[in-house]
Each structure stands twice: as C-alpha cells, then as structure tokens.
Amino acid sequence: MMQFRVGVFGSSAKTTSQKICDEAFRLGALIAERGFVCVNGAGSTGVMGYLNEGARSKNGKIKGVIHRTFIVDAKEDVKITDLVITNGHGLNERKDALFEESDCLIVMPGGVGTFDEFWDVVCSRSLSMKGVDDKPICLVNLDGFYDGFIAQLQRAFDEGLLYMPVAHFFRVETTVEGALNYCVEEFNRPKPANSARSKKRDLVEYGDLASEKYGGSLANNEPVNNQSTSTNLLQLVMVGSACLSVGLLLGLKLQLRK
C-alpha cells in the first residue's frame, strides 16, 4: 500500500518571516508523524526548507520536485534523496510533476512562484485538467495572508465570471493542522466510480530524471530540434521575396503604360 503524499507549495525566500517558517516546520513534522510523504519543490530555504527540516525531525519521508536550473544554482535541499528533476524553458513541467506526485495540495504563504502554482491548480480544476478535479486543495490563510486572493475570486464569482463558487476550487484553513486534517478527510471521502481519484495510481518510478510525460526530449536533456523552425522561416522569406518581386513588376508595368 502506497503512502499518502502531501504536496506543499510555499516560499523559498531566505527572508521569509520566522512565524511563517515556524508554521512550515510544524506542518512538516505533522506530515511525518502521521506517516505521510512530504512532497515539495525541494528548496533549502524559506517555507520549503523549514518544511523539510520539520519532516526530518520526525524521521519522515520527503520527495522533492525541482527544475534543473535550481540544481545548477545549488539551491536544492541536498539532504533529499528522492528527487524528481524536470527541465524545459519554464516551470510548467515542474508544476505538472508536483501535481502528479501529490494526493493533495496544501498552499502555504509564498511569493510569485507559489502564486503561480496556486493559480495554475485553480485554473486546472476549473477546466477539469491535470488530474486535480477531485484532489483536495487547501489554502493556509495564516494571519489573513491570502485574504486578497479569496476576495478577488469572490468578486469574479459575483460578477458572473466563474464557472463555479469559490469554495469549489479550494478549502481555506487558518492553521496547518486544519489544512492537513481537511486533506486527509476529503481524500478518504468516498468518490464516484468515474472520478479521477478512483482510478489506479500511476506506479511508475521516475528515478533521478523526469519521465517523458514531464517534458519529452527536454527531460532527457536532448537538444531542441530547430531544423523545422529554420525551414519554416526560409519558406516565409522566399514567399515574401516572391510577393515583393510581383509587386515591383506590376508597378513597373503601370509606369510604362503611362
């Protein structure tokens, strides 16, 4: 039987306030105490760093998902042995891997990277994409940190811009205990037979490199094939030159008639 995997989004900034870091440490410890796997972006500082230290304090299991760029910059938590490394020109593959590797998602306070992860999963749920349709998602609204996000979504719903009420996108809790308890209870709640969660979990082991579904040739560190791009550009130049030549000939013919 596979362990319950708790995905956590949160800051990597070294300047993250101590209060937020302390809550991240407590969340990591709680995840480990309950025998769950702590899944996160493998950062060594901020929320992610304290989260992982909290899990280690209780001998918990940690799974990291990180973009190769951050390894080159030596920003990863080197103590993590179970690591998925993604590639690509942006963070989309990393986010997809985080979604895939987690049975639930808890959003702690963070910066624009965390905001990007949060809005991506909200959008994906709205569109029934990326397998997050019925995956528990909880926003940890410490000291009203996410009040602005919640208010903006409510305004959008009130103006008729959303397909569903705000509460359908995610749960809001003010403590890490409340967030974890909600995720466990919601995950264990019986689901319809056709739901995404009722299907058998993908048991593929990814090793130290992301599989093709997280980036194809880029995940295998292969060079991008630019041949087709160059061919298309050459064709456009040739068509443009032909059109210009025709235009000049027509203009010359009109001049001769005058």
Of 104, 112, 103, residue with least CA distance to 46:
112
Burial class (CB in 10 A: 0-12, 13-18, 19+), 201: exposed
Backbone angles phi, psi at 219, to 5 degrees: -65, -25
pLDDT band at 68 (very low <50, low <70, confident <90, very high): confident
The per-residue pLDDT for range 206-250, each reduced to its tens digit, is 333 444 445 433 334 444 344 444 444 455 556 556 655 655 556
**Average pLDDT of span 178-186:** 97
Mean pLDDT for 11-32 is: 97
Q: Specify the pLDDT at position 159.
A: 97
What CA–CA distance (Å, rounded) separates 220 from 21? 35
pLDDT tens digits, 114-154: 999 999 999 888 888 887 888 999 999 999 999 999 999 99
- Tell me the whole-structure pTM to 2 decimals: 0.74
Q: What is the mean pLDDT of residues 64-90?
A: 74
User: What does the pLDDT read at residue 26?
Assistant: 98
Q: Does the structure show a pLDDT above 60 at 205?
A: no
Confidence of residue 49 (pLDDT cuts 50, 70, 90): very high
